[in-house]
Structure 1
Amino acid sequence: MCNATEGIPHMSIPKGKIFLLQPVQFSGPCKSNQVLVEVGGIIVAPTNIQAWNDEKEKWISFANIDGLTINGGGQIDGQGSVWWNACTDKALHFHNCNGLQLSKLRHLNSPKNHISISSSNRVYISNLHIFAPEKSPNTDGIDISRSSNVSVLNTVMETGDDCIAINGGSSYIKISGIACGPGHGISIGSLGKNGAYETVEEIQVSNCSFTGTQNAARIKTWQGGSGYARKIIFERIRLINSEHPIIIDQNYDPNSLKPGSKSAVKMSDVTFRDVRGTSADEIAIDLVCSDSVGCTNIVLENIDIRSTIPGKRTYSRCNNAHGTAKETNPIVPCLSQ
């Protein structure tokens, strides 16, 4: 397919057909600047672990292919339950695929991450339905790392982990129209694990709903790391029984803390605006910033998060967070002073 020199190279999975696909990698660069893959039918992964041979990190991988479009209305089924207690990785992985477009597909039961994007620019993802059982471990919907100018729009995600995770090296990410739940919400990070220097900036999350999720809008960084997370906006967010609606955690894994550590990923210029709905936990706003670095210019505006239980109050919790809060329920004293 990559050697075609005329027209747009095209691979089709016919509608009404089911194909068992062994682990496979499609590698470029391609001679054409456009490549089309139409998935009209159903692709399923082998359920026999031995069938994967030594390739246990990726099921379907695309690398170094620019102008790749995958659509067609079909289904990609990772049949991942056999892997959920094992060590595996991504179902569908794109590396260095600039100009990628992914739309109108169903993704089911990934062994781990359903879709992973790395080292790519100008990525457009829309109109997907991603599903894995609520208790399935590590079944992230979409993971983004070291990528820029990525849009994820109008997609339904029901997972056992993050609906979307935005990892280090990512910038100019737009997420809108996501229906998340169950799952662990939309997360920035985790960043700075094992003392790493990592950065994330220019992230916009808007017009998203979270139903029965463990978290909703979350930023998580490890103590001992370095770098920054900045210029991040969560706005027009709707909540239904979300356990932790707004959470900043600069101590993502408290068990890893080193006494006296003065290093942390710097967090600044983060806005939560027009966030409304119900919380399953009494702590609806949780801003846990590190003692050493803290968070600056944290802005909360037009927030109304009430308890799922009628008559019960919601509260906020702060540590070393600095900024402003306006028209916020529950009140956030550390930002309101």
Structure 2
Amino acid sequence: MGYKAIGDGIADDYQAFLDAWTTMCNTAGTNAILFIPKGKTFLVSRISFKGPCTLQKPFVQVDGDIVAPTREGWKGGHPRPTDTWITFSNVNGLTINGSGRIDGRGSDWWDLPDKDRPSALTLENCNDCQLSWLTHVNSQRNHISICDCNNVLISHITINAPEDSHNTDGIDISLSQNIRIEHSSIGTGDDCVAINGGCKFINITDVNCGPGHGISIGSLGGNGRVDTVEEVHVQNVHFSGTMNGARIKTWEGGQGFARKISFDQITLAEVYNPIVIDQHYFSDVHRSVKASAVAISDVTFSGISGTSTNDIVINLNCSAVVPCTSIVMNNINIQSTKSVASSSCVNARGTATETSPNVPCLS
């Protein structure tokens, strides 16, 4: 069934997309597809695809291109911080697949504060979902946001935005569990993947990251917040030309924990800060030391090698109030292209074996 979408990249096809979704979502059984054909460009203004659906396994095949409205064409004035261009909410069993491109046309948004920019694509309260093969470019803010979801697979995707497009995270995850990111390439102006509070059982495997700010856990504990993250495992990732590689960042004065985390089999090519734990993220040196901190423990860095454009290639900047504990480093060899590689280590406890450069505070 057709829904009279124009597909010329000029006319707003919002209503055709929404009508097609409504029909599919309310179809009984398991066999229905929302098909976006190749060879056309569909301009779609801010849209929300809502469930729950009668259809057991909604399937969106995106072979054509989808483009966002311009900043001037955004409906409803400036977005709120939680606004998203394309949202899927309360939809279980969803598959989004195809060879198409989702273009946020973000360049005319990037000079605005974060609160005035929408994210491009959000899955909210969606369980047992898959997102694969698409290309996501030039988001207004986050390219893909996963919030309050369980069991989501993201695979074989490409995300691209210029290095100077600030706060254009590739994939931003919060309040979610059992999330897998595999076989993908992500290059943006901020984190390739950001893992925020309320997350557990996050697995990232076989990802190329760069440019960008690396793969980050946090920031956690902002403004005294209680945040928890556990069971995050990053494996077989290549960082190229990124600001950071493997990073954990927490605010002073926060509470909660980040634990049971591993970064394994990581390669680096001219990464400025290859390994970072920072419990003083956004701290104010003019204020007194906070009485609490997000506890960081059971973190393993293993099989990490390559080059850095900085002389300090391992930086463990932990809290005197709540030190980092059970930090394990094994089989690490990072060279500096600038000078002799070194490490900085404060208030961290654990072990380091076969690690170059040496990390003195780890026995």
Instruction: State TM-score, norm by structure 1.
Output: 0.97
- Paired residues, what number? 334
- Please state if 1:317 is matched with 2:344: yes
Do the aligned partners of 1:223 and 1:257 also contact (CA within 8 Å) in 2? Answer: no
Q: Counterparts of 1:207-226 in structure 2 under 5 Å?
A: 207-226=236-255
Query: How far apart, in 2, do the equivalents of 1:29 and 1:119 lie?
Result: 15
Residue 146 (structure 2) aligned to one of 117, 142, 164? 117
SS in 1 for 2:362: helix
Query: How far apart, in 1, do the equivalents of 2:255 and 2:286 lie?
Result: 14
Query: How far apart, in 1, do the equivalents of 2:73 and 2:355 lie?
Result: 54
Query: How far apart, in 2, do the equivalents of 1:198 and 1:131 lie?
Result: 29
Q: Counterparts of 1:89-238 in structure 2 under 5 Å?
A: 89-238=118-267
SS in 2 for 1:334: coil
Inter-CA distance 25–320: structure 2 relative to 1 (3 Å threshold): same
Do the aligned partners of 1:9 and 1:35 also contact (CA within 8 Å) in 2? Answer: yes
Residue 71 (structure 1) aligned to one of 97, 106, 111? 97
Query: How far apart, in 1, do the equivalents of 2:285 and 2:160 lie?
Result: 32
Query: How far apart, in 1, do the equivalents of 2:215 and 2:45 lie?
Result: 31
Query: How far apart, in 2, do the equivalents of 1:278 and 1:7 lie?
Result: 50
Query: How far apart, in 1, do the equivalents of 2:169 and 2:31 lie?
Result: 32
Residue 358 (structure 2) aligned to one of 312, 331, 335? 331
Do the aligned partners of 2:29 and 2:54 also contact (CA within 8 Å) in 1? Answer: no
Letter in 2 for 1:306: Q
Query: How far apart, in 2, do the equivalents of 1:101 and 1:321 lie?
Result: 38
SS in 1 for 2:163: coil
Q: Structure 1 unaligned runs (5+)?
A: none
Do the aligned partners of 2:32 and 2:59 also contact (CA within 8 Å) in 1? Answer: yes
Query: How far apart, in 2, do the equivalents of 1:256 and 1:3 lie?
Result: 56
Do the aligned partners of 1:223 and 1:256 also contact (CA within 8 Å) in 2? Answer: no
Do the aligned partners of 2:194 and 2:215 also contact (CA within 8 Å) in 1? Answer: yes
The alpha carbon displacement at 1:32 in A equals 1.9
Do the aligned partners of 2:203 and 2:233 also contact (CA within 8 Å) in 1? Answer: yes
Letter in 2 for 1:178: V
Do the aligned partners of 1:210 and 1:242 also contact (CA within 8 Å) in 2? Answer: yes
Inter-CA distance 98–55: structure 2 relative to 1 (3 Å threshold): farther
SS in 1 for 2:74: helix
- Please state if 1:36 is matched with 2:59: yes
Do the aligned partners of 2:29 and 2:56 also contact (CA within 8 Å) in 1? Answer: no
**Which moved further from structure 2: 255-264 or 129-138?**
255-264
2:70 — aligned with what? Answer: 47
How big is the alpha-carbon RMSD for the aligned residues of Structure 1 and Structure 2?
A: 1.2
Query: How far apart, in 2, do the equivalents of 1:256 and 1:13 lie?
Result: 53
Runs of 4+ in 1 over 4 A off after TM superposition: none
2:107 — aligned with what? Answer: 81
Tell me the percent identity. 53
Instruction: State TM-score, norm by structure 2.
Output: 0.90
1:260 — aligned with what? Answer: 289
1:15 — aligned with what? Answer: 38
Query: How far apart, in 2, do the equivalents of 1:95 and 1:189 lie?
Result: 19
Query: How far apart, in 1, do the equivalents of 2:126 and 2:78 lie?
Result: 21
Letter in 1 for 2:166: P
Query: How far apart, in 1, do the equivalents of 2:253 and 2:71 lie?
Result: 40
The alpha carbon displacement at 1:7 in A equals 3.2
The alpha carbon displacement at 1:291 in A equals 1.3
The alpha carbon displacement at 1:256 in A equals 7.5
Do the aligned partners of 1:224 and 1:257 also contact (CA within 8 Å) in 2? Answer: no
Letter in 2 for 1:216: G
Inter-CA distance 150–256: structure 2 relative to 1 (3 Å threshold): farther
Do the aligned partners of 2:142 and 2:170 also contact (CA within 8 Å) in 1? Answer: yes
**Which moved further from structure 2: 116-125 or 5-14?**
5-14
